[in-house]
């Protein structure tokens, strides 16, 4: 897909990976809707895009709420004329995590990290069908890859489900011209990551956080790669610190 002239929507676009992705898509010629529950951050991102002669506007949206998700899709279509690209980036982590967090706290993690992208994808598909297709990228995490222990089981479970959800939608390329893919980053230098690392002891930090932490721009570049490559659908891209990004192999179920 050629990004120039397209319409994109980025959730969690007020900071971190979302901001980097929104700015990058605008630089590549897309008109961008920046959605975030933090309206101030979203407006700052939109302002950065406009300062560089890009086209953008901001909408406040809590992606865990169906009405908000439906409204952000409708606003994008109304303001920008349609929808071609969706990046489901909004995500949170609970502190403390499961099982020490109260059920409402870890359920909120599942609602934002999994329910949100599923709602976004649901309503985006309807809008993209009107355009003859589109591209959706879900931002998950390497926390959801593999079967090892994790210090935030609720977060890891939500990201594992998001990666599997993305892969399961591969047939949409053939039926609707809509490609759904997923990026799974390692540690990224975002405000959420910075808060998590600030709570760690030096020993915990050394054990969990690799050297050479990823920049948000690197994840934006991964998302752009998946958007541009029309051959990719239902694929999961791993972004390890200090290593080239790579597509995870597709299991052979035969």
Residue-level pLDDT at 191:
79
123 is catalytic: no
* Among 121, 237, 140, 222, CA closest to 179: 121
Per domain, the residue ranges of the chain are: 7-247
pTM of the predicted model as reported, rounded to 2 decimal places = 0.94
Fold held by 7-247: Rossmann fold (3.40.50)
Catalytic residue of the set 57, 98, 123, 155? 155
In the chain, alpha helices (H):
16-27, 39-51, 66-80, 103-110, 116-129, 153-168, 172-176, 191-198, 202-208, 216-228
Residue-level pLDDT at 198:
77
Show pLDDT as tens, one digit a residue, over the chain (254 residues).
999 999 999 999 999 999 999 999 999 999 999 999 999 999 999 999 999 999 999 999 999 999 999 999 999 999 999 999 999 999 999 999 999 999 999 999 999 999 999 999 999 999 999 999 999 999 999 999 999 999 999 999 999 999 999 999 999 999 999 999 999 999 898 877 777 777 777 776 666 667 779 999 999 999 999 999 999 999 999 999 999 999 999 877 65
The owner of tokens 């390890």 is 240
Residue-level pLDDT at 123:
98
Residue-level pLDDT at 202:
76
Rounded to whole angstroms, the Cα distance separating 94 from 57 reads 29
121-124 contact pairs (CB < 8 A, 24+): 121/86, 121/88, 121/165, 121/169, 121/180, 123/69, 123/70, 123/73, 124/9, 124/73, 124/83, 124/86
């Amino acid at each position: 897909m050629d990004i120039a002239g397209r319409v994109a929507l980025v959730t969690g676009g007020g900071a971190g990976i979302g901001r980097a992705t929104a700015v990058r898509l605008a630089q590549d010629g897309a008109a961008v809707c920046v959605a975030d529950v933090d309206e101030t951050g979203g407006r700052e991102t939109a302002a950065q895009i406009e300062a560089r002669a890009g086209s953008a506007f901001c909408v406040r949206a809590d992606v865990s709420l169906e009405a908000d998700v439906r409204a952000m899709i409708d606003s994008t279509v109304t303001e920008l004329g349609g929808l071609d690209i969706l990046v489901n980036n909004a995500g949170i982590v609970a502190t403390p995590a499961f099982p020490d967090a109260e059920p409402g706290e870890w359920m909120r993690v599942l609602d934002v990290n999994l329910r949100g992208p599923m709602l976004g994808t649901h309503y985006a598909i309807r809008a993209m069908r009107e355009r003859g297709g589109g591209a959706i990228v879900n931002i998950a995490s390497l926390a959801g890859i593999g079967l090892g222990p994790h210090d935030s089981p609720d977060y890891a479970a939500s990201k594992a489900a998001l990666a599997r959800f993305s892969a399961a939608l591969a047939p949409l390329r053939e039926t609707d011209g809509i490609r759904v893919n997923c990026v799974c980053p390692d540690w990224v230098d975002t405000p959420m990551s910075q808060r998590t690392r600030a709570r760690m002891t030096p020993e915990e930090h050394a054990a969990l956080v690799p050297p050479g932490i990823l920049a948000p721009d690197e994840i934006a570049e991964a998302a752009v790669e998946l958007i541009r490559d029309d051959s990719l659908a239902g694929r999961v891209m791993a972004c390890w610190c200090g290593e080239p990004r790579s597509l995870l192999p597709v299991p052979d179920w035969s």
